[in-house]
Amino acid sequence: MIVRRLMLRNFRNLADLCWSPHPFLNILSGNNAQGKTNLLEAIFFCTTGRSFRTRRDKEMIGWAGQECFAGAELEGLNSSFEISARLNANAGGRTTFLLNGRRQPRQKIFRPAMSVSFTPADLEMVNGSPSERRRWIDLDLGTFDARYQHSLESFERVMTQRNNLLKNAGRQTTRELLEPWNEQMFLYGSRVIEARIRLLKLLLPHLRKVFSVLTSGKEEISLKYLSSLPLEKGTKPEDLRRLYEETVRKGFVREAERQQTLFGPHRDDLAFFINGEDARKYGSRGQQRTLVIALKISVVKMFFGEYGDYPVVLLDDVFLELDRHRQKGLEELLEGEAQVFITSNRRLDGSFGGRGKTYTVAGGKVIGGEE
């Protein structure tokens, strides 16, 4: 996937932009607070339908007005197309998406997502709360399964209703009231857990190779899915629903006392290990950054394996806290056919063999384009 042209109006501080980036490497240099990250966010929004910084679309609208436009001309393996969006900050205003000029639902256009991003905030995937790691699975890996988002959204709706019953009903009547919601929770929840485990297994071979390259073969990576259900190695997908049901039946008293749903994919976590040690507890800042970059690049490799094309790669301040060996490893991994955008507040002369162009971002404008 290649961004041939990016068109923005009133997108954060990018007031009026029409830019044709390099098809391989684009280095965006400049001082802080000039619009480099905003530019990556705009590309990400046009290729995934969401922001990597906020869950509220209207926060991307600049101060100059109540509306914003973001559009991109994209080229895939066998087709070219245009995606555009209009964001409205007025009360009740909604974001509308168009594919080749025709309005389409967001979820229909961006499945799979067409870009992968790394930002410093992604370090929370390692040292943040379990919700950050679940969010990474849901958004970065979930796009590889056409049914995943439906199962997840259905599970979350059921859980909301079930939690309301647990809070408002007395213990004597709760079992009967919960029964119809339990059946749906077991169905959708087991599908979410099964898909997460399957997708992580697909990712793991890529992750091991990428992490080995980044660390010059000196460090090994592994991961473990931590479920609120008593999963055992070799648990079959068809056994998940039964195990889920048994766990909830046994834990009913605890749920009634706590007045909340205690078992399911919303309580699960993911642990990463570097050379057998918990990366969250014992990993250095540089190791944690390397791990997150490896996860992101592994998704890029997995995308190519699934679809025969590369997503757009967006890297914000990626070289921070990486030693030269890890920087060279990253360059090696990105020397392919993917279109890459990298921000930096310093010049990166000589990186990536000089392929691509370096631009300066200043005051919301993209300047130059040195080879």
- Strands 96-99 and 25-29, bridge-based pairing: unpaired
Reading phi first (left if > 0) and then psi (alpha if -120 to 50, else beta), residue 308 is in left
Q: Show the tokens assigned to 113.
A: 């997502």
Cα-only R_g, the chain? 22
Q: Where are the alpha helices (DSSP H) in the chain?
A: 36-48, 106-109, 124-127, 130-136, 148-168, 171-214, 237-250, 252-258, 279-282, 285-307, 324-334
Half-sphere exposure of 163 (CA within 13 A, CB side): 12
43, exposed or middle or buried, with CB in 10 Å at 0-12, 13-18, 19+?
A: buried
CB 230 within 8 A of CB 186: no
Q: How far is CA 229 from CA 69, 300, 331, in A?
A: 45, 30, 40
pTM: 0.90
Residue 302: alpha-carbon gap to chain centroid: 14
**What is the fold, at CATH topology level, of the domain defined by 122-310?**
Glutathione S-transferase Yfyf (Class Pi); Chain A, domain 2 (1.20.1050)
CB 12 within 8 A of CB 74: no
Sheet harboring 269-274: ordered strands across?
221-226, 269-274, 277-278
pLDDT at 233: 78
Backbone angles phi and psi of 270, in degrees to 5: -140, 130
pLDDT by position in tens, the chain (length 371): 999 999 999 999 999 999 999 999 899 998 888 999 999 999 999 999 999 999 888 899 998 778 999 999 999 888 899 999 999 888 677 899 999 999 998 888 887 889 999 998 999 999 999 999 999 999 899 989 989 999 999 999 999 999 999 888 765 567 888 888 999 999 999 999 999 999 999 999 999 999 999 999 999 999 999 999 999 877 787 789 999 999 999 998 899 889 899 999 999 999 999 999 999 999 898 899 999 999 999 999 999 999 999 999 999 988 776 778 888 888 888 877 789 999 987 666 556 656 788 899 999 999 986 65
- Strands 340-344 and 312-316, bridge-based pairing: parallel
The domain segmentation of the chain, as residue ranges, is 122-310
d(CA 95, CA 232): 44
Q: Show the tokens assigned to 207.
A: 């992750």
